[in-house]
């Protein structure tokens, strides 16, 4: 058992508390395995009526996955990275299909892998501390853990905007967009958890009673621009639309996109387009695993991690260097299904 996640039962609920505060609770393989084991055990345990996922301490719920390990593995044979993705995506799928209600407390930083374990939950609680993002395009990865399912199902083109720019949302914005179901002040979380443990049959009512009116959601004033300027599924069209707009907001978002991996941005656009049309979450995870198995060994991911996380010079040299240089054939190869014996599959 790993100490990086605390597993317990409290009253009539199972408790999963992420416990890697120095890494803002970023997920590693052992954490994913421990969470799966607990969820599978509780699935058939009548004494456990609901599940709470939160974090033990510190400023974030979950900052993502173990990016350094992924990059180090990708630079070698990629075996460890693929094993992590395979298990993490099984956890994401298990949560998505879980029969008992799950409550995720997205208090603080909720990014990447943290999105993957909170979005499948029936109840998703945001607070004044919530900072939600899928920032993968900045390191040459892609919005995985089900991002291809959740993002295209948001209002208009918001999902595409979030996937490409890695924009950060606060708790009020998460509530407004449906990424959160409730908005609670952080000082009410302990009471919420205590009451849910005692009355797991009343989760919705308890969260409703403790909810407060969220501040205005800043992103809503930009929705018309997002829907207009991010309307295309072709990356070059989006860049051209932002450039032609000439406004301050468009210029800021264009500058953000110019710092991202062109390969990843094209991957994300196709991922969201195809994911939005999928009817089965397992099919989405199968595709994301095929993408991840390849991307983790490609230049842009290893270079992105070097530039933003290891050397921190923030000047990655992307290759292919421009959107035009990332051909359809290049993207097709990333999306090609894996051989049968290498494909991802959900837990039986």
Greatest C-alpha distance within the chain: 60
CA distance 86 to 236: 32
Give me the count of residues in the chain: 348
- From 136, 170, 288, 303, the catalytic residue: 136
pTM of the full structure: 0.97
Q: Count CB-CB contacts under 10 A for residue 281.
A: 19
Residue 70: both structure tokens together: 């992924």
Query: pLDDT averaged over the chain?
Result: 97
Rg value, the chain, Cα: 20
CA distance 198 to 208: 16
Peptide bond into 11 cis (omega under 30): no
CA distance 272 to 137: 13
Which tens digits make up the pLDDT trace of 252-281?
999 999 999 999 999 999 999 999 999 999
Residue 242 has pLDDT above 80, yes or no: yes
Please indicate whether residue 65 is annotated as part of the active site.
yes
| Domains annotated on the chain, with CATH | 5-342 (3.90.226.10)
- From 64, 112, 113, 138, the catalytic residue: 113
Please indicate whether residue 136 is annotated as part of the active site.
yes
Please indicate whether residue 146 is annotated as part of the active site.
no
- From 60, 64, 65, 74, the catalytic residue: 65
Residue 1 has pLDDT above 80, yes or no: no
Please indicate whether residue 58 is annotated as part of the active site.
no
- Angle (CA) 85-89-95 rounded to 5° is 150
Which tens digits make up the pLDDT trace of 72-98?
999 999 999 999 999 999 999 999 999
- From 88, 144, 170, 253, the catalytic residue: 144
């Amino acid at each position: 058992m790993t100490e990086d996640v605390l597993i317990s039962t409290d009253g009539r609920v199972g408790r999963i508390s992420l416990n890697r505060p120095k890494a803002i609770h970023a997920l590693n393989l052992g954490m994913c395995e421990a969470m799966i084991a607990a969820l599978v055990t509780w699935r058939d345990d009548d004494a456990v009526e609901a599940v709470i996922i939160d974090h033990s301490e510190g400023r974030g719920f979950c900052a993502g996955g173990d990016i350094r390990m992924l990059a180090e593995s990708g630079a070698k044979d990629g075996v460890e990275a693929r094993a992590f993705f395979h298990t993490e995506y099984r956890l994401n799928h298990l949560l998505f299909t879980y029969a008992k209600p799950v409550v995720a407390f997205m208090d603080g930083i909720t990014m990447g892998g943290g999105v993957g374990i909170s979005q499948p939950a029936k109840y998703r609680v945001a607070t004044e501390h919530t900072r939600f993002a899928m920032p993968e395009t900045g390191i040459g990865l892609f919005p995985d853990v089900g991002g291809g399912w959740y993002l295209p199902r948001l209002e208009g083109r918001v999902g595409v905007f979030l996937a490409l720019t890695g924009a950060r949302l606060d708790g009020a914005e998460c509530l407004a967009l449906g990424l959160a179901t409730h908005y609670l002040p952080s000082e009410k979380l302990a009471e919420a958890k205590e009451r849910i443990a005692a009355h797991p049959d009343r989760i919705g009512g308890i969260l409703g009673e403790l909810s407060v009116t969220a501040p205005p959601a800043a992103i809503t004033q930009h929705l018309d621009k997002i829907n207009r300027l991010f309307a295309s599924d072709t990356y070059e069209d989006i860049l051209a639309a932002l450039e032609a707009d000439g406004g301050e907001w468009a210029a800021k978002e264009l500058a953000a996109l110019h710092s991202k991996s062109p390969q990843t941005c094209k991957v994300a656009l196709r991922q969201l387009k195809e994911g939005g049309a999928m009817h089965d979450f397992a099919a989405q995870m199968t595709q994301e695993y095929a993408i991840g198995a390849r991307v983790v060994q490609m230049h842009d991911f290893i270079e992105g991690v070097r530039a933003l996380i290891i050397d921190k010079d923030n000047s990655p040299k992307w290759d292919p260097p421009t959107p035009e240089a990332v051909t359809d054939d290049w993207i097709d190869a990333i999306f090609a299904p894996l051989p049968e014996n290498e494909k991802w599959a959900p837990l039986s």
